[in-house]
Amino acid sequence: MDRMLYVAMSGAKQMMMAQAANAHNLANVSTSGFRADLSSFRSMPVFGEGHPSRVYAMAERPGTDFAAGSIISTGRDLDVAVKTDGWISVLGEGAREAYTRNGSLQIVSGGRLVTSDGRSVMGNSGPIALPPADKIEIASDGTISLQARGQDATALVVVDRIRLVKPNNADLDKGNDGLMYSRDPNQVVLTDAAVQLVPSALEASNVDAVGALVSMINLARQFEMQVKLMSTAEQNDRVAASMMRIT
């Protein structure tokens, strides 16, 4: 009975972890540029004294779904969507360079250009800071032009360019902040002119809401099955103990 109980207990625990990952994807179904987390299960033997006759289930996040989301036109000047494979460079945790597809940009105090979650957008020589302007335009190659306050409407001046990169997706890991980081912190990723933006648009999350809901139901059923197995193991243990007392 101990083997049955152990397998069911570990399975129930891992089902809860998989359900948490699935719920995280669902919670970000409306987050611009979000990349869904993938999850899978595998059996692992329990090593110790004697033969490893027991196994347990383990849920793990093998990677990230890099499929592109749909592009939605917004008409907002500071919204950009990455049209091709590639990323917008931002300042991540620990002042490390990180990458995002979230092109919902805004200007905060000091003229800093940041994403909707407050990450500074990187330019040619560091985080982008813009002077006060009456009009701002972002071109498909990331070039930022603006009309300074009080100037003629036709007098657009190029002030910086959003750093667009195209690292190998296999070399990226998702951080706890939802941004993508190079596995090698010393790796230098060069600006890629082939990466293009769609101005006044945003990329939707690539989470399949219907599929995630179906997975949620399946995981709940599997969790319930593991709980029933634990209950059956307890009943078997009681019956065995009763038989021992009779003999």
Q: Record the tokens describing residue 83, joined without a space.
A: 């049209």
- pLDDT over 70 (residue 53): no
Confidence of residue 61 (pLDDT cuts 50, 70, 90): low
Q: What is the pLDDT of residue 35?
A: 93
Please write down the long-range contacts of 170-173, taking CB distance under 8 Å and 24 or more positions apart. 172/64, 172/99
Q: Does 90 lie in the same domain as 182?
A: yes
Q: Does 57 lie in the same domain as 18?
A: yes
Q: Provide the phi-psi class of 98: left if phi over 0, else alpha when psi is between -120 and 50, else beta.
A: beta
Q: Does 197 lie in the same domain as 222?
A: no
pLDDT single digits (tens) 184-193: 888 889 999 9
Q: What is the pLDDT of residue 60?
A: 67
Q: Does 115 lie in the same domain as 51?
A: no
Q: Residue range 4-18: average pLDDT?
A: 81
Q: Does 150 lie in the same domain as 222?
A: no
Q: Does 148 lie in the same domain as 242?
A: no
Q: Does 225 lie in the same domain as 182?
A: no
Q: Residue range 152-180: average pLDDT?
A: 89
Confidence of residue 18 (pLDDT cuts 50, 70, 90): confident
Q: Does 198 lie in the same domain as 81?
A: yes
Q: Does 95 lie in the same domain as 15?
A: no
**What residues make up the domain containing 128?**
71-203
105-to-49, 102, 125 alpha-carbon distances in Å: 57, 8, 19
Number of domains observed in the structure of the chain: 2
Confidence of residue 247 (pLDDT cuts 50, 70, 90): low
Q: Does 196 lie in the same domain as 92?
A: yes
- Averaged pLDDT score across all residues of the chain: 87
pLDDT single digits (tens) 119-163: 999 998 899 999 988 889 999 999 999 988 777 767 788 999 999
Q: Does 191 lie in the same domain as 111?
A: yes
Q: What is the pLDDT of residue 44?
A: 72
Q: Does 181 lie in the same domain as 196?
A: yes
Strand order in the sheet with 157-161: 133-138, 143-148, 157-161
Write down the pTM of the prediction: 0.80
Q: What is the pLDDT of residue 6?
A: 74
